[in-house]
Structure 1
Amino acid sequence: MGVWLIDADVLAGSRFTVSALAETVAALTTLSSERCEPWQRPWLATHLPAFRARLAEDPFNRCWLRAAAESRWTPDFVCPPPRRQDHRFADELARQRAVPVDTARADLETTWGGPLPCALDVPDPADRVADLVEWVWEHTVRSDWPRRRRIHQADIVSRIHRLGQDGWAATVRELCEPLEWLGDGRLRINDHQRPPRDLSGAELVFIPTSARRGWVCWDLPERYAIVYTAGGQLADAGHATAPGHATVPVPGSVPVPGSAQGGPAGEGAPEAVARLLGRTRADLLARLDPPKSTSQLAALTGLALGTVGDHLKVLLDARLATRRRAGASVLYYRTDLADRLLAPDRTGHPARASARQPARSPAR
């Protein structure tokens, strides 16, 4: 199996980060495979015809995408991990274009499984891939990148909270399969029969995306990344409009592990509670399982930080929410009273305040 050897220094210096390039590669993978989760279907239906037309004129990219799907091995240079100074998609794409020809050809040969066929034997493979990635960014991702970025940032807050609560082994295990912390500095990344790779002195980053499944990538020898499916819920306004197209849901909305809410915003709050508290306040209360920070709630809902803070103060005063510090963040969570208020009875109506339910830990 594929194992990374990660010492304490690498683990201590690791970080979660957002990557516009990784998100675009995730979108490219979805378009190429034409397979997606149910919430991505409107987005896929909107952009697939143009993508098919783009590939029909591009035998090079059509060939390597097919090979990557069959071998389940994407060329390494397609998605190099971001550096700390990469603040824009253009920064990441420029490094992708700058990959030497020999390196790109070697990566393509690994994906193809041997000498390159005529379709892949081109003088500028990195540029050709970058042209396609840039097309996917401009036509399918860029218009709703601010919203996707907020979803990914919110996911990172949840992961950091999970890390502080349960440690690395539990946090890593939930990122993607077959990722697993084996102990003794060993992290299993996949089932490939390859020699262990020592990451001593390298940087390790974790990147959320809207991909159906995760992957690993690297920029040898100094940078490694684990790309995983972001968790989180879309707000009522969580729709992105592509130029010239109808409004469609943004891909990437999946339940946060351990969350009691699995649907769109507001589904966790019964209508009667929304009438009592107001829709926005009820929605915020429904989102507080697992606990979330003010910044995370703002990212998920699109509300201003001050607005979220004002609503949370009302919920605190009403004893429907409480808070505690977790590292550098202050996390808000529901009280037992709020849980009883939100829990539906067998008729589908909110439970009466007098209903008794087993107590649970406020932070799961």
Structure 2
Amino acid sequence: MLERNIGGGSTVGLWRISTDALAGSRFVVSPMAETVAGLAAFGGQHPTSASQREWLATHLPPFRDRWGADPFALPFLHTAIRPRWIADFLVKPPRTAAPTFAEELRALADTADAEARAQIAEDLDRPMPPVLLEPGLVGRAVELVDWVWRHTVEPDWPRRRRVFEADIVARTERLSGGGWAAVLDGMRPGMRWLGDGRLQINTYDYPPRDITGSRLLFLPTTGPRGWVAWEEPGDVHAIVYPCTGWLADPGARRPPAALARLIGPVRAEVLTLLAAPKSTTQLVALTGHGLGSVGGHLRVLLDAGLVRRRRSGRSVLYYRTPLGEALAAPR
């Protein structure tokens, strides 16, 4: 898709959306979306985020060891995932509220070779690599996608899922305070809520797409731009967007070792995460600790004068005091 996936196969600049569709939209954490973002990073034809570059430093050497000499992998990546393009069958919107990777991989595997080949070929400005014309295209793509998931994403998936869930909490809280414009504006580069049922997906000059009656999903990833996707007849549309930077950057969340020894590892983690104000719910999602545990540690940090709190709309946000800033500063 052109800018439909980093836009997906069709190109769009504006979606017309009903109030009911917007009100019924939901955030979904998709293992496949994050895996495809990793495939795009391995392919090297899309921009990468800071967290992806750190991830590539670790995983690119073993990826090259396994797939560098494979006759299929790199031609596939460089053709199915091009600048402003990802073939539709790689980015099907999830059909459940909490999809597993196995479910999403089965949906990919159900694609016929001819359909996948047609999607790859759409707007392709060069001949299709001969290896992609051979039988078994989708099966080989499934093998590659599954390897990337198992070896580079799944080991870190619990942390990533918490990061995405915290991002969703932050955006949901923003919705309660500022409406859909506060959530959608800047969700991904070029995206804006224009009002009157109009959602600008990107800044490209393409005919609008009417998604009235469709379900709308928002999927966070660690990629820097995201994409949009749908399956015909178009009853589900998805917007894949970059997770908020300070959440997606693993280095920004590691507490100093000395601080962990001084006040304990969980309190040090909470204090480090408060580099920007956060609610208790966000901290629970980020840390994976229970509400009672996080609340108890916040009370200790409050009593010690390391954090303060303030109300923002319906949420209570915690933030570091100057003393907390000094303690949490990297050494």
TM interval, short-chain normalised: 0.7 to 0.9
Distance 1:217 1:132 in 2: 21
SS of alignment partner, residue 289 of structure 2: coil
- Show the 5 A alignment for 1:214-225: 214-220=226-232, 221-225=234-238
Distance 1:81 1:331 in 2: 34
Correspondence 1:17 to 2:28: yes
CA-CA distance at 1:203 after TM superposition: 1.0
Higher relative contact order (CA 8 A, sep 6+): 2
Paired position in structure 1 for 2:19? 8
Correspondence 1:263 to 2:267: no
Instruction: State the Cα RMSD in Å.
Output: 3.3
CA gap 1:192/1:113 in 2 versus in 1, 3 angstroms? farther
Paired position in structure 1 for 2:194? 182
Please say if residues 64 and 112 of structure 1, whose CA atoms lie closer than 8 Å, have aligned partners that are also in contact.
no
Distance 1:191 1:127 in 2: 35
Please say if residues 155 and 232 of structure 1, whose CA atoms lie closer than 8 Å, have aligned partners that are also in contact.
no
Distance 1:42 1:114 in 2: 32
CA-CA distance at 1:289 after TM superposition: 6.5
SS of alignment partner, residue 263 of structure 1: helix
Which is helix-richer, 1 or 2? Answer: 2
Distance 2:49 2:86 in 1: 21
- Deviation string, structure 1 residues 299-354 (Cα, Å, up to 9, x no partner): 32343433212112335567854476966xx64434xxx5354456xxx9xxxxxx
Please say if residues 80 and 120 of structure 2, whose CA atoms lie closer than 8 Å, have aligned partners that are also in contact.
no
Stretches of 4+ aligned residues off by more than 6 angstroms: none
Quick one: which of 163, 170, 173 aligns to 1:158? 170
Correspondence 1:253 to 2:249: yes
Of stretches 174-183 and 17-26 in structure 1, the one that deviates more from structure 2 is: 174-183
Paired position in structure 2 for 1:299? 285
Please say if residues 154 and 232 of structure 1, whose CA atoms lie closer than 8 Å, have aligned partners that are also in contact.
no
Paired position in structure 2 for 1:230? 243
Distance 2:97 2:240 in 1: 19
CA-CA distance at 1:149 after TM superposition: 0.7
Distance 1:41 1:199 in 2: 35
- Kindly provide the amino acid, as one letter, of the partner of residue 312 in structure 1: L
CA gap 1:192/1:110 in 2 versus in 1, 3 angstroms? farther
- Deviation string, structure 1 residues 191-244 (Cα, Å, up to 9, x no partner): 44432111111111111111122111112211111111112657xxxxxxxxxx
- Show the 5 A alignment for 1:88-127: 88-110=100-122, 112-113=124-125, 116-127=128-139
Paired position in structure 1 for 2:6? none
SS of alignment partner, residue 190 of structure 1: coil
CA gap 1:60/1:86 in 2 versus in 1, 3 angstroms? farther
Alignment size in residue pairs:
314
Greater gyration radius: 1
Correspondence 1:130 to 2:130: no
Paired position in structure 2 for 1:339? 321
CA-CA distance at 1:100 after TM superposition: 3.0
CA-CA distance at 1:90 after TM superposition: 0.1
Paired position in structure 1 for 2:77? 65
Please say if residues 274 and 281 of structure 1, whose CA atoms lie closer than 8 Å, have aligned partners that are also in contact.
no
- Kindly provide the amino acid, as one letter, of the partner of residue 227 in structure 1: V
CA-CA distance at 1:57 after TM superposition: 4.2
SS of alignment partner, residue 112 of structure 1: coil
Distance 2:245 2:200 in 1: 25
Residue identity over aligned pairs, in percent, reads 45
Structure 2: which 5+ runs fail to align?
A: 1-11
CA-CA distance at 1:97 after TM superposition: 0.7
SS of alignment partner, residue 253 of structure 2: coil
CA gap 1:313/1:18 in 2 versus in 1, 3 angstroms? same
Q: TM-score, normalised by structure 1?
A: 0.74
Paired position in structure 2 for 1:361? none
CA gap 1:38/1:116 in 2 versus in 1, 3 angstroms? closer
